[in-house]
Every structure is written in C-alpha cells, then in structure tokens.
Structure 1
Amino acid sequence: MKRKYMNPYLAGVLLGLVLLSAMFFSGRGLGASGGLKYAVVAAVEAVDHEHAMESSYYRKYFENGENPLKNWLALEVLGMFLGGFISGGLSGRLKFKIEKSPNITNGKRLFFAFLGGLFFVYGAQLARGCTSGAALSGMAVLSVAGFMTMIGIFGSAYLFAWFFRKLWI
C-alpha cells in the first residue's frame, strides 16, 4: 500500500530537531558532501596505500591513525542512505524508477542528473560545504554566510530551471 508523503511542515520541524540534536551531541551541524570525500580518500588508500601516504592531501586524513570511513560525515551519509531505504520500504515506494518527462529518454535524463551532481559536488568543494553544511547548519547558527549560501542556492536554481525546463515539460 502506497502511503502519502509526510507533511512538509512536520518534516521541517523534524529536520530542525535532527540538526539541533547533531549540534548538541557532536558539537557540529549537518553536512553531506564531506562524507563522499572521506569515502574517496579511503578508496584511494585501499587501492594504492603508498600513493596515499606520499600525497600531502591524502596523508592528512590518516595522521590520527583512524580510518576515514569512521569519520562522522561518512557515517552520517551512510545513515542517510539507510534511512532513505527504510523510509522507501515503509511507505511502499521502494522501487527502481527514473523520474523524467515523457519527452526525453532515460539516457538523457541520467546524463543531466549526473552532470548536475558533478557540478553540485564541485561547487560544494569550492564553497567548503554543501546545502546542508553551509546553508542549513550555517543558518541555524545565524551565520550571514549561511543565509547568503541559501540565497545563492535557490536563486541559481530558479535561474537555471528556466534553461532546463524543457527537460521536464
């Protein structure tokens, strides 16, 4: 049986409580883009340990002797995947489906989704944080940079939506 989506206001309050809990228990806000970075660092070390230890960029992630996959960001991203999987299963929405307009092919939709993800990850690294880290957590502590980031995210999304709207019509 397919269930309705959660009330967006309730979901917003729950997200705020999750953010508050993260700040209270860990002293840090939420963030997701860094989790991917830690996974890549761990993969590079697993494939070529010598290269990872010789590189000043990769070596800094191993200085404390701990596996980068045990970093709180990597565990947070794992929790998001598990939570999404459980939520999809409980709501009857757990299936493989490509959301797209009937006017484009699956390949074109997946290409643009990959391209958008690539730009997002690159931008998150340049900005030193993603929407959840830079904007959501930044706004929670009343950071001007957090508010500016959120304005930039929604403003650019609104602007680019005009250019890519034909992919959805």
Structure 2
Amino acid sequence: MPFLSKEAEPYWNPYLSGIGLGLVLLLTFLVMGRGIGASGAMTSVVATTASVISPHTTAANDFYQGYLGDGTVSPLKDWLVFEVLGVLIGGFLSGLFAGRTRIKIEKGAAITTNRRFQYAFIGGMIMAFGTKLARGCTSGQALTGGALMNVGSWLFMISLFAGAYATAWFVRRLWV
C-alpha cells in the first residue's frame, strides 16, 4: 500500500481534479438544490456550541436564532456539517494513501517555527473575518458563486488573488 512506502504518490492531474470537482458541484446542485461551501457548517457548529454554553444569550440573539430556529432540529444536522466532516476525513485518507501524512512545518529559513504559527493564526483570523464580511468562504464564493456567474463572487475571487499576490510580495523574504 502507498502509505506504507517511503515515497509519496504523485499528485493528481489538476485539470482532471478540476473536472471532478465541477462534477461534484453539479451533483450537489442536483441532489441538494444548492452549492457547496464550508463557512455555513462552521457557523452551525459555533451556534450550537454557544447555545450549550449560554442558552439565554443565544435565545436573545437574532444571528444565532437564524441557525438554531425553534430548537426542534439541531443545526448540526445541516448537510454542510457532514460535507465538512467528509472533507476532513477524505483529505486525511487521501494523504494517508498517497504517503503524505508526515507531520512537518512548512516554513522558510528566515522565520522561526513560533513566528510561522503566529503568522498562520493571524492569516486565519483575517480570512475568517473576510469570510463573514463576504457572506461565504472561498469554496462557496469561488465554486458555487462562480458557477452561478455571480458578479460579487467573481469580484471576490479577483480581489482575493490580487491581495494574495500583493501580500506574497511583502512576505516573500520570509521564505527565501
């Protein structure tokens, strides 16, 4: 089996992977009536956790009530939660079978491990804020919104790539 060998399997062809992802998106539209995305699942988990920790606060909060409803159905039963769990489990199994499950920290020579974690955390927080501001994660905006030809989704992705390239120019020195 590949995960028992020392060498990692080659990556899949990106064009074939893109076609596969497009077919998954099409199937999602046909079966569920909506596209894919991950931020809705995260919000469902946060709303459920908040309602367990502080039910009075969430009962008085309109934002949480949009996810919690009348309490008869758990927000964790939303299909997006299962989608994200499937992505996590599938990603791990894919890495396992391809021989890519070694634990390592990707960083340049000019940065310490602690600084790398700090930058990753800060970047994650910026992306999380942007996700809520844009009303959707990159997968929802790019894949679902892009497939539906939503102008806002296309502007979001163009801005995301422009911002990423601009940021890369400034942080490049940390990696080379």
* Amino acid in structure 2 at the alignment position of 1:140: A
TM-score, with length taken from structure 2 = 0.90
**The one of 13, 18, 31 aligned to 1:25:** 31
Q: Shift in Å at residue 66 of structure 1?
A: 1.3
Gaps of 5+ in 1: none
Secondary structure of residue in 2 paired with 1:51: helix
Counterpart of 1:63 in structure 2 is: 69
- Greater shift after overlay, 143-152 or 117-126? 143-152
Residue by residue over 1:28-71, the C-alpha shift from the partner in whole angstroms, topping out at 9 and shown as x without a partner, is: 11111222111111111122223222322222322252111111
**The one of 95, 99, 102 aligned to 1:92:** 99
Counterpart of 2:136 in structure 1 is: 129
Q: Distance in 2 between matches of 1:111 and 1:85?
A: 24
The higher relative CO (CA closer than 8 Å, separation ≥ 6) is in 2
Residue by residue over 1:65-86, the C-alpha shift from the partner in whole angstroms, topping out at 9 and shown as x without a partner, is: 2111111222211111111111
**The one of 38, 41, 44 aligned to 2:47:** 41
Pair 1:155-2:159 in alignment: no
Q: Shift in Å at residue 167 of structure 1?
A: 1.9
Q: Distance in 2 between matches of 1:8 and 1:43?
A: 37
Q: Distance in 2 between matches of 1:137 and 1:97?
A: 32
Identity of matched residues, %: 44
Q: Shift in Å at residue 102 of structure 1?
A: 2.3
Residue by residue over 1:103-123, the C-alpha shift from the partner in whole angstroms, topping out at 9 and shown as x without a partner, is: 211111111111111100100
Q: Shift in Å at residue 13 of structure 1?
A: 0.9
Q: Distance in 2 between matches of 1:144 and 1:57?
A: 26
Pair 1:3-2:37 in alignment: no
Structure 1 runs (4+) greater than 6 angstroms displaced: none
* Amino acid in structure 1 at the alignment position of 2:69: E
TM-score, with length taken from structure 1 = 0.93
Counterpart of 1:80 in structure 2 is: 87
**The one of 143, 149, 152 aligned to 1:145:** 152
Q: Distance in 1 between matches of 2:82 and 2:114?
A: 31
Aligned length: 169
